[in-house]
């Protein structure tokens, strides 16, 4: 009587970032995250135009946070930039992430936004890991994995003569 002594649980499992499943997953994560930010920005534009007063009120409410007086100063002195900037940049970051164009630059902008939201919302009833923090981690992940290269416009942009003449532009793409 023959028995199979091989352990079926001992087989290796690998998640190859170059494999097709990983590429689809990174692209899907990029599109969903981009839609999330695009929707947040375009909704503000529809409701308030480029005069989003909620941004300055939000910053003024951050007095007791780890960032100290910086947000309050921004609300009081940079309202001319903050009010149109929040909906505009949320929309542009969302579009860049969604279409995979200038993905690293857009992800960096998204990470800055999410850092401000994470610190500003400050309701750490469940610890420091909040939805804002998780979205911050997604933006960092998209930048680190060069997510725009997977079924995104960055893959096309990197083939252009401009990028080939100036290879440092690849740090913004991907």
> pLDDT tens digits for 28-57?
999 999 999 999 999 999 999 999 988 888
> pLDDT tens digits for 3-20?
555 555 556 655 566 677
Residue 35 CA to residue 110 CA, distance in Å, equals 12
Report the residue count for the chain.
174
CA distances from 146 to 12, 18, 22 (A): 26, 12, 12
Residue 148 CA to residue 97 CA, distance in Å, equals 7
Low-confidence ranges of the chain (pLDDT < 50): none
Q: Are 88 and 50 in contact (CB under 8 A)?
A: yes
């Amino acid at each position: 009587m023959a028995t199979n002594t091989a352990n079926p649980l001992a087989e290796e499992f690998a998640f190859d970032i170059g494999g097709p499943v990983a590429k689809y997953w990174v692209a899907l994560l990029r599109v969903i995250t981009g839609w999330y930010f695009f929707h947040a920005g375009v909704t503000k534009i529809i409701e308030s135009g480029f005069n989003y007063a909620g941004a300055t009120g939000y910053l003024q409410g951050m007095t007791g946070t780890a960032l100290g007086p910086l947000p309050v100063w921004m609300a009081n002195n940079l309202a001319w930039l903050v009010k149109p900037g929040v909906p505009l940049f949320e929309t542009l970051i969302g579009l860049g992430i969604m279409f995979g164009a200038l993905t690293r630059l857009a992800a960096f902008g998204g990470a800055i936004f999410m850092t401000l939201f994470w610190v500003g919302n400050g309701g750490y009833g469940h610890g420091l890991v909040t939805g804002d923090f998780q979205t911050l981690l997604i933006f960092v992940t998209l930048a680190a994995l060069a997510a725009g290269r997977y079924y995104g416009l960055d893959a096309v942009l990197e083939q252009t003569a401009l990028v080939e003449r100036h290879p440092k532009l690849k740090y913004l793409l991907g």
